[in-house]
Chain A
Amino acid sequence: MNLTGTELLLADGMSPEAAVDALGARVSLQEGAGAQRDLRFYDTFDGLLHAAGLAFVYGSGRAALVSIGGSVERAGMPAADLPGRVFAAQLEAGLLRDALTEIIEVRALLPLVHVHDAERTFGVLDRAAKTVVRLALHAPTVVASPNRQLALAPRIGLVAVRGYDKAFRRVYKMLVDDLGLIAADRSLLEEAVIATGATPGGVSSKVDVALARDQRSDSAAASILRRLAQVMEANLPGTIADVDAEFLHDYRVAVRRSRAVMRELKAVFPPEQLARFRVELRWLQQITGPSRDLDVYVLDFDELRAGLPEPARSDLEPLLRVLRDRRVIAHREMVRALRSDRACELREQWPAFLSELVTLPAGGRPDAARPIGELAGERITKVYRRMVKMGTAIDDSSPPEELHELRKQGKELRYLLELFGLPLHPADVVKPLVRSLKSLQDTLGRHQDREVQVDALRSLRDEVSTLRGGAGALMAMGVLIEHLGDDERAARAEFAKVFASFASNSQRTLVRETFSS
């Protein structure tokens, strides 16, 4: 039982009114105003709110973040109307925006389901006639379309009044033990989503594929790659429609992970097809690159601008304009490529190839039938050792390219650990390794990102200088370039320490003992 709020279903044959009458005979009830309410629920594409046990709901002139299955409001505010796509940043400053931003960050909230609810409300009163528990009878209908309404089973919502937990428990017990009400195992929102034929919780981009250590390597690779192809497919429409920047990001991560699998497990694929699909997936990575880079510049713009002294911040506006314009152009070009015949063929042929991979002749793919536990362990050990060797050779005089190369290997290792390490080995061994790798990658990433940002700012100077306010913007950009350079050097100075922890004796032993069979 959730102590702040819960939903109950009526026993067979019991009307909501009978339940209220029966409760009224036991406790003092006062009926409130009641209401006819239209509730529009929102969540991100990947169900971030659902995963946090929350829902975003708009109704009766109010937008609020409420707990799923208890309707307890976490934060809310009056709102005249909401668009079909809501970003946290668009909301008025306040607790709701803060609470939402923490969970959904840059993701857009999209309409999930529309529920019409005829609600009767009651207060359970104590001896001083104070409300100590709130109760609502819901008669919900899903409005699937203007002509299609689906009635859901009536339910009773019980909401605690802060500081009166005992009364809440007493009323709950009364409803369940004496009146035979049943705790709803699915919330009203989940029921409504299921009624429309969708799945509560949204579409995940996670790759949770179960593997067995003695599974054939080609079959393991194919299941992982098929899941990654699904992730690409799921994120394609949102990428094309430019719903939010995470669609493209998740799409590209899936492409990059697929390429890593092909590279690392080369010998499970027939060489000819491998060569062809590697070219095709690299192409996908390339055509989506500029759009992603510009997404990042625009998303990080505020943070970048915060590096300037307050009075100079507005000077950067011309730069933002240039970035936005370029982003629009890059997106248009990307969409053209993603809709091209080449991309469409790939979308069909790639999953088809993966489905038949295990049935293909064994010739030319010596690792196909090897157990994946052995092969993945071998690859993880190999890449880890390569990184230790490369990192150890890096000193203060090494060129930046050596750090970039190490970062690339780090990505490869991370994908191997996440895709194969976690399903095949104990999480308490793999997760700490991923963490230490992540902290190394963060430092290397900061080092490289700053360098890339500095180059990008330099390359934009000419275009910005021709705009109104361009001279001021150029000065501000100069200051930024200096700051970014400082940060790049700071990241470089941190490298030795984070690398030492990644390559420590204990880590090396751990990798050897876990992955070398």
Chain B
Amino acid sequence: MSRVLATYNIKGGVGKTSAAVNLAYLAARGGDKTLLWDLDPQGASTYLFRVRPKVRGGVRKLVRRKSDVENLIRGTDFERLDLLPADFSYRHMDLALDAAKHSTDRLARVLEPLREHYEYIFLDCPPSISLVSENVFEAADALLVPIIPATLSSRTFEQLEALVEGGPQVLAFFSMVEVRKSLHREVMARLRATHVTMLGAAIPSADEVERMGVDRNVVAEIAPAGRAAIAYEALWWDVRRRLTARGPRGAG
């Protein structure tokens, strides 16, 4: 019954890590055992949770399942929320995947034994289209795609939908929204009208989101009543609702 959710976008700096960290936190707070796998070699979510960005044996052993993945997991400050940390060797993940057999479902295989322990597994993905993303599409039940409401965003969205057709469910949401900008408002209205998979909740561009990196904490702890915290709660509610409607992948 476990669900694998990947925050993904081809572009960087759109709020992927922020979404992964805050949604994983909300999942755990809601009572479900949750794991976040920081796949980005920059290790931003690992840093936010104050965990050492170190994976013994590096990415090569990990994707070949030569490491005991359960021993690599670290508990966070929050009950029920665990982290599989990033490692600098993840920058060569493509090469490691390419060198292994079944190069597109290695990550799914690494996750397999963990699925019975966690209700939700979040993947915080690096920006790119690569073998890593192919692996993510294979492993994930849904992609959570943050989109900044600017001109090129609808194109990005359409490209992505075409790319993963028949794969994971694509759930896009607006991120880093500045409602005072008329362009943001226009793009949002247009995309919501034309794309049914666009989620209703939108994450504002807010101070507390930026403060996450300074305080090394989630927005719900930094500013529990802030706009961003409320928006993430709405987003999580919406995501769960859509997931329930569809059921896990491969469940018939």
Contact residues of A with B, CB < 8 Å?
Answer: 62, 73, 75-78, 93-95, 98, 123, 126, 128-131, 134, 160-164
Contacts and interface: CB of A to CB of B under 8 A. Distances in A.
Nearest to A93: B1
Contact of A162 (B30, B31, B82, B116): B82
B74 interface: yes
Interface string B50-80: 1100000000000000000001111111011
A316 to B, nearest CB: 20
Nearest to B32: A77
A89 B216 CA distance: 41
Contacts of A163: 51, 71-75
B119 A95 contact: yes
A161 B75 contact: yes
Given A73-B79, A95-B119, A163-B73, 20 more contacts: A62-B31, A73-B80, A76-B31, A76-B80, A78-B30, A94-B119, A95-B116, A129-B50, A130-B49, A130-B50, A130-B51, A130-B77, A131-B75, A134-B79, A161-B74, A161-B75, A162-B73, A163-B71, A164-B74, A164-B75
B92 interface: no
A62 B50 CA distance: 28
Q: Which of A93, A128, A164 has the most CB of B within 10 A?
A: A128
A502 B118 CA distance: 44
A75 B1 CA distance: 13
Interface string B102-119: 000000000000001111
Contacts of A95: 1-2, 33, 116-119
A29 to B, nearest CB: 14
A77 B74 CA distance: 21
Contacts of B216: 129
Interface residues of chain A: helix, strand, loop or mixed (majority): mixed
Nearest to A123: B77
A372 B116 CA distance: 50
Contact of A78 (B31, B74, B79): B31
A160 B82 CA distance: 13
B70 to A, nearest CB: 9
Contacts of A134: 79
A162 B82 CA distance: 8
Contacts of A160: 75
A130 B85 CA distance: 14
Interface residues of B, number: 24
**Would you list the 7 A-B pairs with minimal beta carbon distance, nearest first?**
A130-B50, A161-B75, A163-B74, A162-B75, A78-B31, A131-B77, A128-B50
28 contacts: A62-B31, A73-B33, A73-B80, A76-B31, A76-B33, A78-B30, A78-B31, A93-B1, A95-B33, A95-B116, A95-B118, A95-B119, A98-B1, A126-B50, A129-B50, A130-B50, A130-B51, A130-B77, A160-B75, A161-B74, A161-B75, A161-B76, A162-B73, A162-B74, A163-B71, A163-B72, A163-B74, A164-B75
Contacts of A128: 50
A77 B31 contact: yes
A98 B72 CA distance: 25
B113 to A, nearest CB: 14
Contacts of A77: 31-32
Contacts of B82: 162
Contacts of B2: 95
Contacts of A62: 31
Nearest to B52: A128
Q: Which of B31, B72, B117 has the most CB of A within 10 A?
A: B31
Contacts of B1: 93-95, 98
Contact of B33 (A75, A123, A161): A75
A314 B33 CA distance: 34
A453 B109 CA distance: 42
A77 B27 CA distance: 11
Nearest to B50: A130
A99 to B, nearest CB: 9
Contacts of A94: 1, 119
Contacts of A73: 33, 79-80
A507 B228 CA distance: 73
Contacts of B33: 73, 75-76, 95
Nearest to A73: B80
A128 B74 CA distance: 14
Interface string B81-108: 0100000000000000000000000000
A126 B2 CA distance: 32
Nearest to B252: A310
Q: Which of B49, B76, B77, B118 has the most CB of A within 10 A?
A: B77
Contacts of B72: 163
B116 A98 contact: yes
B237 to A, nearest CB: 14
A160 B46 CA distance: 19
Nearest to B85: A163
Contacts of B116: 95, 98
Contacts of A98: 1, 116
A126 B77 CA distance: 11
Nearest to A95: B119
A100 to B, nearest CB: 14
Nearest to B115: A95
Contacts of A126: 50
Contacts of B117: 95
Contacts of A93: 1
A366 B32 CA distance: 66
A78 B27 CA distance: 11
Nearest to B72: A163
Contacts of A75: 33
A293 B1 CA distance: 33
A12 B75 CA distance: 34
Contacts of B75: 131, 160-164
Contacts of B30: 78
A246 B8 CA distance: 50
A134 B75 CA distance: 11
Nearest to B78: A131
A104 to B, nearest CB: 18
B72 to A, nearest CB: 8
A325 to B, nearest CB: 32
Interface in B1-40: 1-2, 30-33
Nearest to A131: B77
Interface string B215-248: 0100000000000000000000000000000000
Q: Which of A75, A93, A95, A129 has the most CB of B within 10 A?
A: A95
B144 to A, nearest CB: 21
